[in-house]
Structure 1
């Protein structure tokens, strides 16, 4: 018995000694390689014992819906200490990671040193319960295959088709009931935007819309034909799953703590609902290709097109849900933030409305609203660009080093030397902070000022849709849908007023960011 205890004790001691020696050797190797690369250490963000203080700060900020403000506060605190503040070393729950806001480093992560970084196991493990092996969770050859399969589905010919948008836009307009005073009092227009984009996205992806806008109208009945699940239940489960996954990501390596029964149930509801459409596509039960209202043009269905190349039902579902996540949330969040900004700025609202009418006519007598026309409507583009600058829909992101490497700047006393990044280090980049740096955007950085994009050619300091090989495939689709919806609203309503705005803007951050708790507007209908 004594011999067994002695053996176990000796084994533990040997393991500890081996770990200490390995750590010492690894640190020496890293120091030598860092010197060879000309690297200097970055400033260290004070986070308290084991980073617990920072973890608590971030949890409280998320509960108050002020997570983006917490990121800004960290940089401001380092500035006040007189230290370089665009790249930081952070201890977080006994994990060492990097945080950067520097455009040069972001460019390295996403483009020039693309092969040195990947999404990594945290992203894959966190997304897997909902999105499986879809394009937003995989790396390497699996990601390349997904990209190859999905890219043709975002061809310009698909983005240009606005006929479906108008159908769902009219359902959206029905929800904006105008009273005898000519005003539509909309308690939360952001919710209506999310229903609009869910309906539009599912029409394009599934082949038929969930019609959540119509199902929420007074007196509407809700069908239960998709594996016994209602449309509204699918949407609720989809939101719930995204929220839980995002909460797990705040814990970095400990993301799995949030992957309990609640997440499993939400994902099961989402998957069961999507499987109904996947099965139909694989069994070719759609019959003849449907046509849009003019009876001439073949209706495009993403799932049917993708099923021609992907026959694995699980893989097909993973890609379908990945694109739905991006297609619905990005456009709806952009619309919410855009109309929040317009409602607070009546002068620019009037200017944009007149621009829209000049280009596209009135609500009752519209001119064709095309992809090209929207892109050529410069002031509309400026307004959307400025909205995405102040309120990027994906405010934070990350990459993981797949080998010992470096990033271009952030080290040393002046912050201009390269920074050594050991293998398996998470590097977080905060787009929200980068978009609000005075040294890039000027002293009026906090102001919504669309004119700042006039004659501006943006680089890596402006990143609303990511960049490099993994740049968002659907960015033109999102901008087209948001622009189309905005033009039609501008045509119909000559004035807009915000109601009960909170003194400080708050955000609900899941996999994307949106206004919290919503947006109450009064919209005044134009005469004639």
Structure 2
């Protein structure tokens, strides 16, 4: 009996040790596959196609070189007084620019076990522009750290989840729909004009230094609140302030690579992120709840904004049969989460990029007053009296050719988005290039927009006239102009942003002249978008004819 019991215990131990050995072997094989075999397979596939790059170290890849070069160029991020120098550009991902000089416009590098294909070849970019496959998505390692701010909204989503949101949102930003929103853009801009007039009068009635970027953020936030959610900035102010705080915490260089990201640990920083995330969700749900109560009381026949569309479409999707996103939305939690995530993305993308665009345009015009005069002449000829609701006529926007050129040049030199990144979710072809599954594709937008082979020897200069014949005649390769991204994931709200920028600039230039402040320090900085690191203080002068009207 004892012998049988001993044998049973021995067999049990042997089974346990066997299971442990199998588990350990599987773990070792998985680590080996992830850390060595997969990167080697991708690297070998590209090498056979003639694409090379810096030699990686085991485990860390090219991380040590990245850190070394970034440290060497970090001193260049110091402000350059009021000089409009391009020095800042040299410190923006210097390793990408250095490797391009060594290995050509398209090369391979790695951060840890992640392989990155840097693309600087216009023909390959053209193929990326033509690709409509859902197998080309946003890199998951990049978007995971941004989840507290963007949730699973359109900016982060991939596959069918992204397609569902894109099909829902994109039609609301067609030009025909945008024309119904121009009154909001006009009203919000005039609020800022009145505020700046008060500041100038308080400053003696001639000129005042105004840090314009904060006011422009408030302006664009007000517009997106009214246009998409039928609510004033007063109601959305808390949401924007919380999102701005989240942006400040999350916009750090290490998040671009997905390393040193201890987001699961209750550090002081992470606790702050979690708190802000919960507060943003509560505020958005309050807006949604108020709208649903309003619908119950008065019906939603007159509610045609984006918020109502999201609520209705989410409800419809929840009631449909099928799989994927429709199946998930059968759960109340998933429906609520989708609404919150979509609102987060619209609040952020709908205000931040346009504010940055207008800020850089005004800074550029402050350095080039001759273009201010040219634009005022064009604006006054197009809108003779600047009467209320004069922007409702879409044909007038086509007449603002010089303003369009200035905006296009501003987007070229200071595009809000500085990188375009994609991940091959499955193996795919870009022209003749075979891209293995798991490859992360990177394009450095400022590098493409300043490439002398594409734009000419004056690529670093502010010359709006280069766009006189449109993008196709402005450069050698039009596909290299990427202010709103590329391919099927190009910004859905680009027409909204351009229309808003034209209205804001038309009204501001008709009321004020701008010159650069001696306190301005030129240091563009990456904070999820390209912003003036030290703000944008500008000397704002009320135009004389407008001052006379105020006195009368």
TM range, normalised to the smaller chain? 0.7 to 0.9
Residue 455 (structure 1) aligned with residue 469 (structure 2)? yes
* Higher alpha-carbon Rg: 2
- Aligned match of 2:543: 526
- Aligned match of 1:51: 63
Which SS does the other structure have where 2:125 is aligned? helix
- CA distance in 2 between counterparts of 1:289 and 1:7 reads 62
CA contact 1:362–1:492 (8 Å) conserved in 2: no
C-alpha deviation, 1:194, in angstroms? 0.2
Which SS does the other structure have where 2:313 is aligned? coil
Residue 245 (structure 1) aligned with residue 250 (structure 2)? yes
C-alpha deviation, 1:8, in angstroms? 6.7
Correspondent of 1:303 among 299, 303, 307? 307
CA contact 2:114–2:440 (8 Å) conserved in 1: no
- Aligned match of 1:174: 194
**Cα RMSD, aligned residues only:** 3.7
- Aligned match of 1:489: 508
- CA distance in 1 between counterparts of 2:55 and 2:515 reads 42
Give the number of the structure whose residues are more often helix, by fraction.
2
- CA distance in 1 between counterparts of 2:404 and 2:487 reads 22
CA contact 1:75–1:86 (8 Å) conserved in 2: no
C-alpha deviation, 1:101, in angstroms? 2.5
TM-score, normalization by structure 1: 0.81
CA contact 2:77–2:91 (8 Å) conserved in 1: no
Give the alignment of 1:103-502 within 5 angstroms.
103-112=122-131, 114-161=133-180, 162-176=182-196, 177-179=199-201, 182-211=205-234, 232-247=237-252, 250-254=255-259, 256-258=261-263, 260-285=270-295, 288=298, 300-311=304-315, 312-362=335-385, 368=391, 370-405=393-428, 407=430, 421-458=435-472, 459-493=478-512, 495-500=513-518, 502=520
C-alpha deviation, 1:478, in angstroms? 0.5
Which SS does the other structure have where 1:428 is aligned? strand
CA contact 2:152–2:338 (8 Å) conserved in 1: yes
C-alpha deviation, 1:181, in angstroms? 5.3
- CA distance in 2 between counterparts of 1:31 and 1:270 reads 42
C-alpha deviation, 1:467, in angstroms? 2.3
> How many residues align structurally?
489
TM-score, normalization by structure 2: 0.78
Q: Which runs of 5+ in 1 are unaligned?
A: 212-225, 292-297, 409-417
Sort the Cα spacing of 1:397 and 1:245 in 2 relative to 1 into closer, same or farther, 3 A: farther
Deviations 1:470-506 (A, max 9, x none): 221111110111110100111112x321102556x32
Q: For structure 1, which segment, 337-346 or 429-438, has the greater mean C-alpha deviation from structure 2 after superposition?
A: 429-438
CA contact 1:201–1:324 (8 Å) conserved in 2: yes
- CA distance in 2 between counterparts of 1:473 and 1:113 reads 14
- Aligned match of 1:70: 91
CA contact 2:42–2:439 (8 Å) conserved in 1: no
- CA distance in 2 between counterparts of 1:132 and 1:253 reads 17
- CA distance in 2 between counterparts of 1:98 and 1:362 reads 53
C-alpha deviation, 1:134, in angstroms? 1.4
Give the alignment of 1:496-511 within 5 angstroms.
496-500=514-518, 502=520, 505-511=522-528
Which SS does the other structure have where 1:41 is aligned? coil
CA contact 1:108–1:114 (8 Å) conserved in 2: no
- CA distance in 2 between counterparts of 1:22 and 1:77 reads 28
- CA distance in 2 between counterparts of 1:365 and 1:201 reads 20
Q: For structure 1, which segment, 345-354 or 421-430, has the greater mean C-alpha deviation from structure 2 after superposition?
A: 421-430
Which SS does the other structure have where 1:91 is aligned? strand
Which SS does the other structure have where 1:266 is aligned? helix
Deviations 1:288-323 (A, max 9, x none): 5899xxxxxx67422123222123222112111111
